[in-house]
Amino acid sequence: MRFDLVLFGGTGDLAWRKLLPALFQSFRHGSLPADGRIIGVGRGAMSDDEYRALIAQRLAEVEADKRPSDAEFARFAQHLHYLRMDLSQPADYAALRELLQAREADTVVMYLATAPSLFTTVCQQLGAAGLATERTRVVLEKPLGHDLPSNRAINAAVREVFSETQIFRIDHYLGKPSVQNLLALRFGNAIFEPLWRRENIASIEITMAEQLGVEKRGEFYESTGALRDMVQNHALQLLCAIGMEPPISADADAIRNEKLKVLQSLKRWTPETVTRDVVRGQYAAGQIAGKPVPGYRQEEGVSPTSQTETFVALRTEISNWRWAGVPFFIRTGKRLAGREASIVVHFRQVPHAIYRTPLGAANRLTIHLQPKDGLTLQLMAAAQSQADTGGVQTLSPAALDLDFDQRFGTERVGAYERLLLDVIAGRLNLFVRADEQEAAWQWVEPILEAWQQANARGEAPRPYVAGHWGPGAASALVARDGHSWMEEF
């Protein structure tokens, strides 16, 4: 396939940290179509060779097993080109058109790795320059808007130029191998489906924890916060994968229709339930891996009186027949005790216990997203040696552990690599539809409004010490339902 991938923001942070390493890995794996161009777009003057040298320098900083050898990069560099553009100038889009028309590619991908404020401008200019043809696809990075009105405005502007089937709204969590295996687990195996309902599941917990702080992104994070950065997109997409009904097929719209139903079935927020069922926190100075780290308000680009949340924990429910009454707990935060992304399905206790078991022990299925990639199923098994218990046998937890890296090899396709290849091939299954995004924004908006009112009253996020698992109120939140976070077992 002959393709052109135009990377707006081609010298930016996302391009060199995620996108170009992913494109190189697909080249290394032989899955990147050979007859393709990657055109980096930036504001600075640069030749193709200078751009290639810059990317070579960046790729030398990635993990050792993903770095190219000199010979590998020399071959990969033949795909790399550079174009200087001012994204507000029509003449520069005319230059892009000439570059693309120099050869007729089968597919042209416009990847907008830019600030969301530029999405509308770029798409309008692409349309005016005649670059939005039926062969064109546009990729939009998150965050797509700051709230529901801005999200709708961006989507409306983009749809004036591109059809919905040409728009790829990317959420890199959907490209993770473990998320793909979650869908395979649910819809490719018969053993779990009969159990996947309120009669057998006590609660479901979604955790996305980071040890890092905001690093050099304080100014960006001040206007975003954890709810917009992680919950509105990543966490809700994971919740959909867990909670959705089986689609009629693996087609993109069949899957996305079922995800939309989940979002529409989430319990609506009221001021009272936000107060009761949502915890917002902000990290204070502490220690990570034995080293002191500053509090959020001491980070570069952050206001010393900031009320931006760096931690969110919440309880919600899906109001349908399958899930009615089952609590879904979501938490995400920065400067926490560990780096962990996982989904934990807590099954109910057996209805009649004939064995002794440790307090709180029950079957659990853990889907590991990062840093480990795999599944752990906790069963109860008879202990081989035990003290006299009056003739009643004691059971102990035993884990069945599936490590995907060991089972399938460490060279599996990464999230961005998978998603980029899907864009080139035109597969929409792992991308978010406009109505999904709007439903997600509709659901989080009452929380944002309640926090805005709390800020006006001078109510700050709950502080937590860096290196811990968030405010104590997050533990109290799950304890009200008789549950605990995974690390508290």
18 is in an annotated binding site: no
Contact (Cβ atoms closer than 8 angstroms) between residue 414 and residue 22:
yes
Strands (E), 28-140: 36-42, 80-84, 107-112, 136-140
359 is in an annotated binding site: no
Q: Taking CA 275 as the corner, what is the angle to CA 274 and CA 276, rounded to the nearest 5 degrees?
A: 90
142 is in an annotated binding site: yes
Q: How far apart are CA 433 and CA 144, in angstroms?
A: 12
4 is in an annotated binding site: no
Instruction: Tell me the H-state helices in 457-487.
Output: 472-479
251 is in an annotated binding site: no
| Cβ-based burial of 256 (10 A; exposed 0-12, middle 13-18, buried ≥19) | buried
199 is in an annotated binding site: no
**Pairing mode, strands 395-403 and 167-169:** unpaired
**Candidates 79, 234, 346, 368; catalytic one:** 234
Question: Exposed e or buried b for every residue in 148-179, given b needs 16+ CB within 10 A?
Answer: beebeebbeebeebbeeebbbbbbbbbbbbbb
Known active-site residue 483? no
Of 441, 443, 429, residue with least CA distance to 152 = 441
317 is in an annotated binding site: no
Of 210, 469, 474, 166, residue with least CA distance to 339 = 210
Strands of the 3-8 sheet, one edge to the other: 80-84, 36-42, 3-8, 107-112, 136-140, 167-169
Q: Which two tokens stand for residue 8?
A: 């707006």
14 is in an annotated binding site: no
19 is in an annotated binding site: no
The catalytic residue positions are 234
Binding-site residue ranges for NADP(+): 43, 86-87, 142
* Residues flagged as binding site: 43, 86-87, 142, 172, 176, 210, 229, 334
Annotated binding site for substrate: 172, 176, 210, 229, 334
